[in-house]
Structure 1
């Protein structure tokens, strides 16, 4: 969440601890953790071991990567056209004042334990922007990347096996359609198991 003056509040896990296993999986998955190969930033200091909700300069946040804009309140057609998850949502963003209030409050009080599928950096940003939380225990979180992973797995597993022997193009069409539908119904803006929760109530929950 950009706060102005070149500063960003974001949710991260320490370098090489993306899934929290301490194994090679932490290295092959895309991470929200800050790079630990650079020299300490003159503005932020050494953030290589930083985790949780932190504030850093934009350069440290990007760690040499590109800056992309996440879109809110997109149309269904636009959402489906964006085949890659983690780029947009059907949910509407709240006012900048509400967004900054949530981000600042969580900077002071935390956002729970980082989990790549259930509570990651995209989940943090989506909550700050919308105030929406998944209220069921059976969930892959709010992030589009996690939903896309599940959608892809569902499309592969659920595709009729007969298409494998009769038509590869038929399999591709069916799997692609199931992937799009799964992503659509799993989006935070479409799910029925979500609730708008004030940040003070979120932090106070056990």
Structure 2
């Protein structure tokens, strides 16, 4: 999935690494999570968007370029924990509630002009951008890995069995599957931006005034819970 913010008139504002300019994590996540990159190459530019094949950062694209031949899905906000866990795939919903359309559009357009920092596949990706535009929430802990739902899901799946001491309680395949599924669900839930403790609500003007949110002195940032 490639999250973005629909802003009307057939346009989507989204965050992309850009063709040939990728800056990833140096892990398997680089091959598992993809940024939202335009579907047209330089030899076949979009009649509406032009040649966006080399653009990176926050860009505005038509819906066709944004979808790149994929399907359109609605990311859901303010869901219940039960609904969240029922959505086994990460990056489809969050417990955090969405702000008003006016605030969402203001953030998206402001970041289109000012930027959203350097793309990082596990810490500052297209899902982080879309969730910030919708909620104003952002992770401030520098050691955090997997801020977005997609990244958290991959990491949770990879570590569910390996890191859990509960794996020693059973040797059967079905038992390991139950343990792994349980740890995966718990890991997804506690890493959701709607319940994490290392999250603050930062005004977009304050966000872009810093070179990186990771370098922000949190004592000077207005914090809301």
Using the size of structure 2 for normalisation, the TM-score is: 0.84
**1:136 — aligned with what?**
141
Residue 154 of structure 1 deviates from its aligned partner by: 2.1
Distance 2:141 2:51 in 1: 37
Secondary structure of the residue aligned to 2:107 is: helix
Please report how far the alpha carbon of residue 14 of structure 1 lies from its aligned counterpart in structure 2 after TM superposition. 1.1
The corresponding residue for 1:193 is: 198
Work out the CA distance in 2 between the residues paired with 1:108 and 1:182: 35
What is aligned with 2:176?
A: 171
1:15 Cα deviation from its structure 2 partner: 2.1
After TM superposition, give the deviation of residue 35 of structure 1 in Å: 2.6
Confirm or deny: 8 A CA contact 2:78 2:95 kept in the other structure.
Answer: yes
Q: Quote the offset at 1:200 in angstroms.
A: 0.3
Instruction: Tell me the equivalent position of 1:8.
Output: 12
Aligned residues: 204
Which residue is 2:93 aligned to? 88
Cα displacement (A) at 1:158: 2.0
5+ residue gaps, structure 2, are 212-225
Distance in 1, matches of 2:133 and 2:22, equals 21
d(CA) in 2 for partners of 1:191, 1:48: 35
Contact kept in structure 2, 1:17 and 1:26, CA below 8 Å: no
Q: Classify the secondary structure of the residue corresponding to 1:79.
A: helix
User: Does structure 2 retain, via aligned residues, the 8 Å contact 1:18–1:116?
Assistant: no
Aligned to 2:65: 60
Aligned to 2:161, what secondary structure does the other structure show? helix
Pairing of 1:149-164 with structure 2 (within 5 A): 149-159=154-164, 160-162=166-168
Secondary structure in 2 aligned to 1:54? strand
1:109 maps to what in 2? 114
Is the 1:6–1:57 Cα contact (8 Å) retained in structure 2? yes
CA distance in 1, matches of 2:179, 2:29: 31
Please point out which of 8, 15, 34 is paired with 1:30.
Answer: 34
Deviation at 1:162, TM superposition (A): 3.5
CA distance in 2, matches of 1:19, 1:112: 12
Contact 2:21 2:54 in 1 (8 A): no
Q: CA deviation at 1:121?
A: 0.3
Unmatched 5+ stretches in structure 1: none
Work out whether residues 18 and 33 of structure 1, in 8 Å CA contact, stay in contact via their aligned partners in 2.
no
